[in-house]
Amino acid sequence: MLLSNMEIIPQRKINKHLGLVQGSTVRAKHVGKDILAGFKNILGGELVAYTELMTEARDEATQRMVEQAESIGANAVLNVRFATSSVAQGAAELFAYGTAVVLEPERGVSEPTATPTSE
Amino acid sequence: MIEIIVLLILLILGYGFGSYREKRHYQSILEREEQLRHIMLFESRFPPDIKTSGDAQLVQGNVVISADYFKIFVAGLRKLVGGRLRSYESLLDRGRREAILRMKEQANKAGASKIFNVKFETSSISKGEQNTLGSIEVLVYGSALS
CATH code where residue A80 lies: 3.30.110.70
Burial A87-98 (b: 16+ CB within 10 A, else e): eeeeebbbbbbb
Alpha-helix residue ranges (DSSP H) falling in chain A: 31-43, 48-71
The nearest alpha carbon in chain A to B124 belongs to: A86
Query: Cβ–Cβ of B56/A41 closer than 8 Å?
Result: no
Mutate to test the interface with A, among B50, B122, B125 (most CBs of A within 10 A): B125
- Identify which of B21, B52, B128 has the shortest CB distance to residue A45: B21
Judging contacts by C-beta atoms under 8 Å, the chain A residues touching residue B64 are 46-47, 50-51, 54
**Per-residue confidence (pLDDT) for residue A118, from 0 to 100:** 47
Run of H or E residues at B89: helix B86-109
Q: Do residues B144 and B56 lie in contact, with contact meaning Cβ atoms separated by under 8 Å? A: yes
Q: Coil, strand or helix: which one is A103?
A: strand
Q: What percent of chain A has pLDDT over 90?
A: 41
B36: nearest Cα among B93, B106, B101: B101
Kindly state the average pLDDT of the residues A18-32.
Answer: 86
**Per-residue confidence (pLDDT) for residue B27, from 0 to 100:** 94
Is A37 contained in some domain? yes
Residue B99 Cα, gap to closest chain A Cα (Å): 11
Domain span at residue A15? 2-103
Kindly state the average pLDDT of the residues A5-18.
Answer: 86
For the cut 80, the answer to whether the pLDDT of residue A8 exceeds it is yes
In this prediction, the answer to ipTM > 0.90 reads no
pLDDT confidence band for A110 (50 / 70 / 90): very low
CA distance A98 to A5: 8
Is A57 contained in some domain? yes
Beta bridge partners of A40: none
Judging contacts by C-beta atoms under 8 Å, the chain B residues touching residue A81 are 119
- Average pLDDT of chain B? 87
CA distance A74 to A21: 10
CB atoms within 10 A of CB B92: 15
- Average pLDDT of chain A? 82
**Per-residue confidence (pLDDT) for residue B130, from 0 to 100:** 67
Is A110 contained in some domain? no
Pick B2-145's CATH classification: 3.20.20.370, 3.30.110.70, 3.30.70.660, 3.40.190.10. 3.30.110.70
Q: What percent of chain A has pLDDT over 70?
A: 80
Q: Do residues A102 and A94 lie in contact, with contact meaning Cβ atoms separated by under 8 Å? A: no
Count the domains in chain A: 1
- Which residue would you say has higher pLDDT here, B129 or A59? A59
CA distance A56 to B21: 26
Residue A6 makes CB contacts below 8 A (sequence gap 6+) with A78, A79, B45, B46, B47, B56, B116, B117, B143
Query: Cβ–Cβ of A84/B60 closer than 8 Å?
Result: no
**Per-residue confidence (pLDDT) for residue B44, from 0 to 100:** 83
Q: Which residue ranges of chain B lie beneath pLDDT 70? A: 49-51, 128-131
